[in-house]
Amino acid sequence: MPDLTAATIRATELPVRSAPMGRMSLVAGAAMLVALAALLPVGFIIWVAIQSGWDTVSALVFRPRVGELLVNTALLVATTVPLCVALALALAWLTERSDLPAARTWAWLAVAPLAVPAFVHSYAWITLIPGLRGLPGGVLVSVLAYFPFLYLPISASLRRLDPGIEDTAASLGLRPWSVFFRVVLPQLRLAIWGGGLLVGLHLLAEYGLYVMIRFDTFTTAIVDQFQSTYNGPAANMLAGVLVICCFVLLGLEAGTRGKERYARVGSGSARMQQPRALGRRALLCMLLPALVALLSLGVPLITLARWLLAGGANVWNLGVIGPALGQTLGLALVGAVLTTVIAIPMAWLSIRAPGPLQRLLESCNYMVGSLPGIVVALALVTITVRVALPIYQTVVTILLAYALMFLPRALISLRAAIAQAPVELEQAARSLGRSPAQAVWSITLRLAAPGAAAAAALVFLGISNELTATLLLAPNGTQTLATAFWSLSREIDYAGAAPYALIMVLLSLPLTGMLYVQSRRTSGR
């Protein structure tokens, strides 16, 4: 009887293992189409450079203006990222490793600035301090807007560290600060470099923040070049230099994060890290998170409240705010669903059929995520004008831009969700007569539904606050909350812009809370 059972199992497994080949080809084909579309911005910039010729490229790239932009951008990144690292490290240690009073509240307040778009941060500061300009202003606002991207991974990594390693180091005579710098900090390297890379890419891509502060970067110069003279080659060459800057950051992060092993064998110490007593220094230490919360949250919210009170009921023009909110929700909803759907083939392939081709296709999707939205938008503008004029400045183009820009967000969440759906359930469903497509739809995708919803929510948030691509690609008559806010703030109508900023913050707060809760769940706290 055991032999018969084994033979039956082998017989039912044969069609299950041979059938997926056709489906694998379809999935791989769909994933390849998406990957090729993701390479459009980079490919187009290379094509424009080849078509323009070396003389034109050298004349547009090797000029004083590009040198100024390069210096500005390098100084911005080299100053802002280390400050973000230092601030995030200090806040993470205080909230996760000390007995700081109300540590959970301060931890939430350290994440909450993510709900405020970067250009709303600059709007708040420039209305509070009109003389805030140049590199110092850009660094100040950038640090306050982007340090949570480092705080989240660093604090999560601190919660997961094995306290036994630190106890061993302390038993060997190392003082607390030596233990931190020689034992704890090296284990945070991946979190620091990953978060630093994310902050650096945001700095390269940001437009609204630096326009308000009047600090010139490659992104501001590209938009100005395009909107003022519609000089395609000049804007594309600036975009090419910006792409090179992005790849330099990616290479720097990959080459300096090291090859050390960060995983441990076994479960580690079966206890939580004991918080360090601050004693009399507790009140003094509370000044740091309190000051950061005041500057990163208090200034934007107080500024919004001040302008809303100054404008009164007149600024709540529901005849304009309503359509802007509706168009924002519509574009964000359709864009989120579209991006999540086109990410499914690649996410499924990366989990069910990993290999060299899968890794190559997946890297193409992540590559476009490292590019500023202005590069994606500029490429699509020129492509549609030259070869697809009927879809120029239509909903199709703007949705395509959103899908390319936010594809990595959906892909990362979907991968994690599909990985938690056992492949054996698919095999069991096919052995019971379900087709491969039916098995995936009824089993895997249903189990992955929470992850897909999280992916769509992340994309929804990105689209609802997106500015640069929307400014360049939105159809005539389209006005989102971000573009309406931008139009009014550029006209120095700060009171009229305040309702749009407030609504964007309120839309972002629930997702920010979800990120905070998810961060604590993944670390078991």
pLDDT (tens digit per residue) in 240-294: 888 888 888 877 776 766 555 444 444 444 456 677 778 888 888 899 999 999 9
Lowest-confidence pick of 199-203, 274-278, 374-378: 274-278
Model pLDDT, residue 58: 86
Instruction: Tell me the C-alpha distance between 423 and 124, whole Å.
Output: 50
**Whether the predicted pLDDT of 193 surpasses 90:** no
pTM of the model: 0.80
Delimit the domains of the chain by residue range: 20-62+317-490
Query: Is the model's pLDDT at 128 over the cut of 70?
Result: yes
The predicted model gives 493-515 an average pLDDT of 88
- d(C-alpha 122, C-alpha 208), whole Å: 8
From CA 475, how far away is CA 393, in angstroms rounded? Answer: 5
Radius of gyration of the chain (CA): 25
User: What is the identity of the amino acid at 466?
Assistant: E
Look up residue 128 and give its amino acid.
L
The rounded mean pLDDT for the chain is 81
How far apart CA 466 and CA 233 sit, in angstroms, is 25
5-61 confidence digits (pLDDT tens) = 344 334 334 343 433 455 567 777 888 888 888 888 888 888 888 887 888 888 888
Mean pLDDT is lowest, of 62-66, 246-250, 290-294, 390-394, for 246-250
Confidence of residue 110 (pLDDT cuts 50, 70, 90): very high
∠ CA 331-336-341, rounded to 5°: 130
CA distance 291 to 141: 14
Give the best-scoring range by mean pLDDT among 15-24, 228-237, 410-419, 487-496: 487-496
Tell which CATH classification among 1.20.1050.10, 1.10.3210.10, 1.10.3720.10, 3.40.50.2020 matches the domain 20-62+317-490: 1.10.3720.10
- Please give the pLDDT value at position 9: 36
Q: At what angle do helices 494-522 and 299-311 cross, to 10 degrees?
A: 150
Q: Do 273 and 103 touch, CB atoms closer than 8 A?
A: no
Helix (H, G, I), strand (E, B) or coil at 467: coil
Closest CA to 191 of 89, 298, 286: 89
Give the range among 16-25, 36-45, 120-129, 452-461 with minimum mean pLDDT: 16-25
Return the top range by mean pLDDT from 93-97, 145-149, 170-174: 145-149
Answer positive or negative: Cα dihedral of 366, 368, 371, 372. negative
Quote the tokens at residue 306: 């001040």
